Amino acid sequence: MSTTLPTGLETTLSPPPAGADGWTPSRRYEAECRRTASLLMLCDLGAFTGVALVLLASSQLWGFPSDGFAMKSGLLFAAIAPMVFALFNLYGFRALTTSVLDEARAIASALALLTLAWLFFGLLLRPGSFGRPEAIAMAAWLSLAFVLGLAMRGAVRAYARHRNPERVLIYGAGQMGQTLAERIRTSGHGIRVVGFVDDDPIPLRDSLKDIPVLPESQGITPALRETDATRLVLAFSSSPTHQVLESIRTSKFGRLPISIVPRYFEITPAHSTLSEINGVPLLDLRSAQLSHGARAAKRALDLIVAAGALVVLAPVLAAIAVAVKLDSRGPVFFRQERLGSNGRPFHILKFRSMVQDAEAQRMGLADRNEMEGSGPLFKMKNDPRVTRTGRFLRKTSLDELPQLFNVLSGDMSVVGPRPFVTHEAVQIQGWGRKRLDIKPGITGLWQVRGRNDVPFDEMVRLDYMYVTNWSLWWDIRLILQTVPRVLRGDGAS
């Protein structure tokens, strides 16, 4: 069992006996999973063996010993790599929205274990066989194997999703069920919502009216048969719990994966752990407060990323500064007070993208606020105050780069809640104030989810979920997910 957000607790139930006709709704899905696993294993074996052969053929150019023991052992371990991958479940059950980054982490862990075994057996069987040339060859093998393996796996996964998309049947057509259906449709993971099961659904939202609602009273099996679903998601049905359980227990769903949206999904993180007390499963959540070690790790990541980015992007920063100065009157940088960690105000730093008196003109444009559900936020996609250079900077998010200096000074983090202007932030009360427990970030869930397209209330909920579920891996994922979204200009204005 494992957990994932936003779909919740993932599990696969034991298969009940098939019906008289031998039919189970997951037969085609199981066959496709086996086919995909076989293709993945063949790709891994081919990629790793091919890399080892290339390096073995090049060994003389790199000054290896004549017997090439390290490279020959590398060829052997390339052959057994798929077995190690199997230990990390890289050919088995996948969660509904397992990302490329999650798979990359699993591949890196498997290769790390393989490397340790390679070193151990090499030194045990042939002491002194690993010198500088062998170390270089091993590093090259690992790097090439990782990149090639991940690329080929991505191609196989994409082909499998195109050939047989995941077909999700949602048990419950209430607010949560419909919200989940909308999130699935916009997730970009090759997933289709094929129906709801509910006897007393609320009216479907306009964007979901093409999805059929099947009667719960007839049981799940007819709904699975009619929709040919490959996964069932339980999402707060209005029926009594015992009725839902009875319907599941009596259905012929085979080895169909079932996902459960936790009742308290807003505080259930992806890194929660599962335990049990005498057969009763429990989801164990970490403290919502960051420990001293966690804060130190987050700060270390901030310093490494911010300092590295400033060094690499120094020529870009200089060119932008010149462009801003030549385009319009005013300073190069725009400074504005924002509310930081624990309610402490600070001045955020950006490249100026508007005319010099932009703040004074804002009140005259208040009736043109285009941000849906914006609360106190003000956004316009065609704001007349934006300069020509500023429009380009905003579209590409280059105006945000000076915030790296805010990160170095300790006022901000690379990843964190959105840094609201003080008069906007003070309007957030109650549980939403939890967002102030962590420094605001240059990027975060609000950035990955759509930036200016995310309504104010939803942005506050995303900040709350980030703060209460923080992990270092989540920060790394959000940084990596931000790059393609910024390059595409998603939600920019």
pLDDT digits (tens, 9 = 90+) for 37-91: 888 888 888 887 877 777 666 665 555 554 555 566 666 777 788 888 888 888 8
Check if the beta carbon of residue 390 is closer than 8 Å to that of residue 399: yes
Listed in order, strand segments (DSSP E) in 198-284 are 213-214, 231-234, 257-260, 273-277, 280-284
pLDDT tens digits along 138-196: 777 778 888 888 888 888 888 887 777 888 999 999 888 998 999 888 876 778 899 99
Task: Please state the φ and ψ torsions of residue 194, each to the nearest 5 degrees.
Answer: -105, -5
Other Cβ atoms less than 10 A from the Cβ of 111: the count is: 22
List Cβ neighbours of 179 (8 Å cut-off, separation of 6 or more). none
Residue among 412, 479, 471 at smallest CA distance from 448: 479
Check if the beta carbon of residue 38 is closer than 8 Å to that of residue 155: no
More confident residue, 125 or 194: 194
**3-state helix vs strand vs coil in the chain, percent to 5:** 55, 15, 35
Q: Which helix (H) or strand (E) holds 154?
A: helix 132-163
Q: Which helix (H) or strand (E) holds 135?
A: helix 132-163
Helix residue spans in 278-357 (DSSP H): 292-312, 314-327
Which whole-number Å values give the CA distances from 301 to 185, 322, 404, 415, in the listed order?
Answer: 33, 30, 12, 10
pLDDT tens digits along 348-377: 999 998 887 666 656 555 555 555 444 555
Check if the beta carbon of residue 99 is closer than 8 Å to that of residue 10: no
Among left, alpha and beta (phi > 0; psi -120 to 50; other), residue 236 is left
Q: Could you give the CA distance from residue 98 to residue 231 in angstroms, rounded to a whole number?
A: 14
Give the end-to-end CA distance of the chain in Å, rounded to a whole number.
41
Check if the beta carbon of residue 190 is closer than 8 Å to that of residue 162: yes
Which whole-number Å values give the CA distances from 90 to 2, 258, 322, 448, in the listed order?
Answer: 14, 19, 50, 26
Q: Could you give the CA distance from residue 44 to residue 79 in angstroms, rounded to a whole number?
A: 9
Helix residue spans in 313-455 (DSSP H): 314-327, 358-361, 388-396, 403-409, 422-425, 445-449
Band of the pLDDT at 8, cuts 50, 70, 90? very low
pLDDT tens digits along 381-411: 667 778 888 889 988 889 999 999 999 999 9
Half-sphere exposure of residue 163, counting CA atoms within 13 Å on the CB side?
A: 13
pLDDT tens digits along 438-487: 899 999 887 887 665 677 777 888 888 888 778 888 898 889 888 888 77
Mean predicted confidence (pLDDT) in 209-217: 90
**What pLDDT score was predicted for residue 270?**
65
**What pLDDT score was predicted for residue 403?**
95
**What pLDDT score was predicted for residue 24?**
52
Q: Could you give the CA distance from residue 189 to residue 102 in angstroms, rounded to a whole number?
A: 14
Q: Which helix (H) or strand (E) holds 482?
A: helix 472-488
Percent of the chain with pLDDT over 70: 75
**What pLDDT score was predicted for residue 355?**
81
- List residues bridging with 336 in a β-sheet: 348
**What pLDDT score was predicted for residue 320?**
94
The burial class, CB within 10 Å (0-12 / 13-18 / 19+), for 280 is exposed
Q: Could you give the CA distance from residue 274 to residue 281 in angstroms, rounded to a whole number?
A: 7
**What pLDDT score was predicted for residue 464?**
81
Return the amino acid letter for 18: A
Which whole-number Å values give the CA distances from 280 to 63, 235, 260, 276, 283, in the listed order?
Answer: 60, 20, 16, 5, 10
Return the amino acid letter for 471: S
Check if the beta carbon of residue 82 is closer than 8 Å to that of residue 41: yes
Other Cβ atoms less than 10 A from the Cβ of 314: the count is: 10
| Domain 2-14+165-284: which CATH number of 3.40.50.2000, 3.40.50.300, 3.40.50.720, 2.40.160.40 | 3.40.50.720
Q: Could you give the CA distance from residue 336 to residue 440 in angstroms, rounded to a whole number?
A: 14
List the chain domain ranges: 2-14+165-284, 30-163, 292-488
